[in-house]
Chains A and B, each alone.
Chain A
Amino acid sequence: MMRWLPENISTFGGEIDGLFYFIYYLTAGVFVLVTALMVLFLFLYRHREGRRAVYTHGSTPLEITWTVIPTIILVVLSLVSVSTWAKVKIDAPPSEFEVRVTGKQFNWEIVYPGPDGRFDTPDDFKIENELHVPVNKVVYVHLTSNDVIHSFFVPNLRLKQDALPGRNIRVWFEATKTGKYELPCAELCGFGHSGMLGWLYVDGPEAYSAWSAQFQR
């Protein structure tokens, strides 16, 4: 099942995948155990003439066992998830590159701060559905929407965040591999939702400068 996971290109994606695999092996183990017991019981205790079922109402030690063990496993799972969640969605390293992304039916509108690195200045430039970022830099995306809720999803970054009208939500990532990756909308946003698709270009330093130069007057 896990072989369908897209390639990870973000600094935090490895941790997310690690948790994903951890839960996969954990649940697969429980699934095999429960299914094997069920099949075994169905076979061993099928109806046969002359044998009566065991008359029992249960077992308190067993109830305690199968209450306590899952509780411990699930609490541990929560605790190991906390730090990765905080890393992706709460604590961000200092920004090295910033961009504004606005969802609107049915495009991503992307505003770059231009050479001065500041928004709302004359050298800002705006382009639709093409998000160019430098590789190995901490990127802040200031996410909002013009109309309905959209969701900024880059499978290769392991990043998803809804874009809300009336709200400005900061997300961050650091891409570690150059290339061109898909940036679909993941939240139903109307009849054009399917096909609302941008592209993330992770550029090397020269490639990024060359690309951004064409927007400078």
Chain B
Amino acid sequence: MSDSGAIAHDAHALHGELGFWRTYVFSTDHKMIGRQFLFLGLFMLVIGGSLAMLMRWELAWPETAVPGMGWVAEPTMYEGIIPPQTYNMLFTMHATIMIFFVVMPIMVGCFGNFLIPLMIGARDMAFPVLNMLSFWVGLLAGAIMLSSFFVPGGAAASGWTAYAPLSAKAVFTGVGLGQDLWILSLMILGISSLMGSINYITTVINMRTPGMTLFRMPLVIWSLFITAILLLLALPVLTAALAMLLFDRMLGTSFFLPAGGGNPLLWQHLFWYFGHPEVYILVLPAMGVTSEVLAVFSRKPIFGYRAMAFSMIAIAFLSWIVWGHHMFQSGMNPLLGTAFMMTTMVIAVPSAIKTFNWLGTLWGGSIRFTTPMLFGLGFVSAFVIGGLSGIFMASTPVDIFIHDTYYIVAHFHYVVAGIIFALFAAVYYWFPKMFGRMMNETWGKVHFLFTYVFFNLAFFPMHFLGVGGHMRRIYNPLQYEFLKPLQDWNVFITVSAFILAASQIVFVVNFFYCLFAGKKVGTNPWQANTLEWSAPSPPPHGNFAATPIVYRGAYEYSVPGVREDYLPQDRQLPTGSAPTSGH
């Protein structure tokens, strides 16, 4: 709690007087920066998705020409046929782009920026200029990453995990500058994320409006706050590891090269020490978004608010001691594997608690099946499968068999690609606040239906491939006798993935059409409680006409004694009329 919102207001007193460049391009307004991150992420989603389509073609019909790709110059493709080197580049860049340039910019960059000040009643971020820099540095990182496609030798091809020594010497992959640019891009993106996370943490701690105690904060703000802390602590580890990798490649050091006394497993330890918290950096905001939409559209208080907040805190702590479960078969001491199995089993508990509380929220609700609600439910559904499939590989003996197979690919797509449901829930839900117009609900539901069905048809059969022993990152499954009986599933998955991708056109058209021609909305079209819905749609620079005062928690829906079924956090009730505490 502080009244620094009012101070920030004075600092931004000149709002409304800014020209085109300072309003739309070099903006320091958290809402514009949020929108910029959204467009960056959606653009990269198209690229990352297209790379996946090329991979799926290759896996279904290996070494045949991809229709319409005959124009791509050699050696990237040969009259439309993807060579193995290019295939390795495809999955490396698909994962890199989806993780670092789609999910992080949208879930953390866009919604973190857009929502944190609005939902805690602040007028902007604590450091608006740093915020602007965070976007532009992130954009630079994205540009460098994309430019690596066009350098001799092509883009990085050692997997998004960049295991050394494969990644540490150009001779092993044949990729020179492309891998260097990959490293450089992620180091720069790390700077962008650090600037963002410092800003988020400071803003949440210092700039909450009067009455907004920590335990009255919406869960999505809790999730973004915890994510920011994880980012702040995890990214320097990646940056350090990347620097060592770059030194190995360019300066002749041997951090990861055994010939010079280095240790390849050091890379894996550093990478996953960052990499496992990273998974939660990606998924925590999705959990936060889901908690918002489930409560709003069940017209019910979120079930177990404190359990939800504390389970995220528990995840944040435990995420630092589970990284070794990526390395059970790596040659790490097997006794350590036993220890990491225990911690990994334990981290499943807070995830289970969250799922049960979502069910509890639905129980007894008055459920509205709006588009954001459907996508929120889609996230829960995918997360249940992704969470349960994770238990298989947490068990070290089972992991011996399924490690590095499509079972793992199925698992992490249910978790990480499942975030796309929360991402769409967030876009449909906050679109009216961002742009002042509604997206079309009918087309939104069509989009949901196709996305949900074909997501499952594309990713669920990957479990079958994994049980069959199908390795990840192989270019041609038909090179193996034992995989030939599974090939029909590869074709099935590919066709489903194509339809999944094609159905996103519905979203793109709906999004851009409604950006300009959607139905205009008032301040609170969903009849929700949180503070952003007290501000105009879209909110002006400075957000609130008067500093909002918070009287209760974020989820006071269907309160007995209140006529409407919602009760905004900043609405003062006559004394003695109804509960004003919440949490």
A residues contacting B by CB (< 8 A) are 1-2, 4-6, 15-16, 19-20, 23-24, 26-27, 30-31, 34-35, 37-38, 41-42, 45-48, 51-59, 62-63, 66-67, 70-71, 74-75, 77-78, 81-82, 84-86, 88-90, 105, 147-149, 151, 153, 155, 158-162, 164-167, 169, 182, 184-195, 197
CA distance A214 to B329 in the complex (A): 35
Does B264 lie within 8 Å of A194, measured CB to CB?
no
Known: A53-B558, A148-B172, A193-B473. A27 touches B400 (CB 8 A): no
Q: State whether B356 touches A1 (Cβ < 8 A).
A: no
* Nearest CB in chain A: distance from B104 CB, A: 23
Contacts A/B (CB < 8 Å), 21 sampled = A1-B463, A2-B467, A35-B381, A41-B365, A46-B367, A55-B557, A57-B303, A71-B349, A75-B345, A77-B345, A85-B396, A148-B172, A149-B264, A165-B264, A166-B263, A167-B258, A184-B471, A190-B88, A190-B174, A193-B84, A194-B473
Name the distance in Å between B72's Cβ and chain A's nearest Cβ. 17
Q: Which residues from A are CB-within-8-Å of B166? A: 148-149, 188-190
Residue from B85, B352, B385, B398 within 8 A of A23 (CB atoms): B398
The interface residues of chain A lying within 8 Å CB-to-CB of B304 are 57-59, 62-63
- Assuming A148-B166, A164-B265, A165-B165, is B367 touching A27 (CB within 8 A)? no
**Additional pairs, 6, CB under 8 Å, beyond known A1-B463, A58-B306, A66-B356:** A15-B397, A26-B391, A149-B264, A160-B329, A161-B331, A197-B479
- For A191, give its contact among B84, B331, B353, B391 (CB under 8 Å): B84
Establish whether residues A4 and B480, one from each chain, have CB atoms under 8 Å apart when the complex forms.
no
- Give B552 Cβ to nearest chain A Cβ, in Å: 12
Query: Between A and B, how many residue pairs show CB distances below 8 Å?
Result: 280
* Residues on B with beta carbons closer than 8 Å to the beta carbon of A19: 395, 397-398
B557–A53 touching, CB < 8 Å:
yes
B352 to chain A, nearest CB (A): 4
Among A1, A160, A184, A190, point to the contact of B403 (Cβ < 8 A).
Answer: A160
B335 at the interface (CB under 8 A from A): yes
B307 → chain A, closest Cβ, in Å?
5
**B303 in contact with A31 (CB, 8 Å):** no
Please report the C-alpha to C-alpha distance between residue A210 and residue B284 in the assembled complex, in whole angstroms. 61
Which residues of B have CB within 8 Å of A151? 329, 404
Residues of A within 8 A of B301 (CB): 55-58
Of the candidates B377, B385, B469, which one forms a contact with A31 in the assembled complex, judged by CB atoms under 8 Å apart?
A: B385
Which of A6, A63, A75 is in CB contact (< 8 Å) with B353?
A63
Interface string of B146-161 (1 = CB under 8 A from A): 0000000000011100
Given the known interface contacts A58-B307, A167-B258, the answer about A188 and B366 at a Cβ–Cβ threshold of 8 Å is: no
Q: A16 to nearest B CB, angstroms?
A: 5
Contact present for A16 and B397 (CB under 8 Å): yes
B565 interface neighbour in A37, A45, A53, A56, Cβ under 8 Å: A53
- For the complex, what is the distance from the CA of A190 to the CA of B87, rounded to whole Å? 11
Which 4 A-B residue pairs are closest in the complex by CB-CB distance?
A166-B258, A54-B364, A155-B469, A194-B475
Is B17 interfacial (CB-CB < 8 Å)?
no
B346 proximal to A (CB < 8 A): yes
Q: Does B476 contact A (CB under 8 A)?
A: yes
Contact across chains for A48 and B366 when beta carbons are under 8 A apart: yes
Which residues of chain A come closer than 8 Å to B337, judged between CB atoms? 85, 89
Contact status A85-B397, CB under 8 Å: yes
What B residues does A85 contact at CB under 8 A?
334, 337-338, 341, 396-397
Task: With A31-B385, A75-B345, A165-B258 as known contacts, state yes or no: A20 contacts B157, CB within 8 Å.
Answer: no
Taken together as a complex, chains A and B put the C-alpha atoms of A10 and B558 apart, in Å, by 60
Distance, CA A96 to CA B7, complexed state (A): 79
Identity of the chain B residue whose Cβ is nearest the Cβ of A24 in the assembled complex: B392
Indicate if B144 sits at the interface (CB-CB under 8 A).
Answer: no
Query: Which of B85, B300, B476 is within 8 Å of A54, CB to CB?
Result: B300
In B34-92, which residues have CB < 8 Å from any A CB?
83-85, 87-88
A51 in contact with B366 given A23-B391, A57-B301, A89-B334 (CB within 8 Å): yes
Q: Does B388 contact A (CB under 8 A)?
A: yes
A81 to B391, CA, bound (A): 12
Interchain CB contact (< 8 A) of A57 among B299, B366, B394, B583: B583
How far does the Cβ of B435 sit from chain A's closest Cβ, in whole Å? 26
B163 is an interface residue with CB less than 8 A from chain A:
yes
B515 within 8 A of A: no
Q: Which residue of A lies closest to B482 (CB)?
A: A182
Task: List B residues 556-583 near A (Cβ within 8 Å).
Answer: 557-560, 565, 582-583
- Closest B residue to A180 by beta carbon equals B481
How many whole Å from B458's CB to the nearest CB in chain A? Answer: 16
Closest to B86 in A: A191
Nearest chain A CB to B328's CB is how many angstroms away? 8
B368 contacts partner chain A, Cβ-Cβ < 8 Å: yes
Question: A27-B389, A45-B362 are contacts. A188–B473 as well, Cβ < 8 Å?
Answer: yes
B400 touches A159 (CB 8 A): yes
B468 touching A6, Cβ below 8 Å: yes
Which residues in B have their C-beta under 8 angstroms from that of A88?
Answer: 397, 400
Cross-chain contact B359 with A155 (CB below 8 angstroms): no
> What residues of A have a CB within 8 angstroms of the CB of B465 in the complex?
4
Q: Is B384 an interface residue (CB 8 A)?
A: yes
B366–A190 touching, CB < 8 Å = no
Q: Are A38 and B174 in contact (CB under 8 A)?
A: no
Distance in Å: Cβ of B254 to nearest Cβ of chain A? 10
CA distance A53 to B405 in the complex (A): 45
Task: Tell which of B159, B391, B464, B471 touches A74, judged by Cβ atoms closer than 8 Å.
Answer: B391
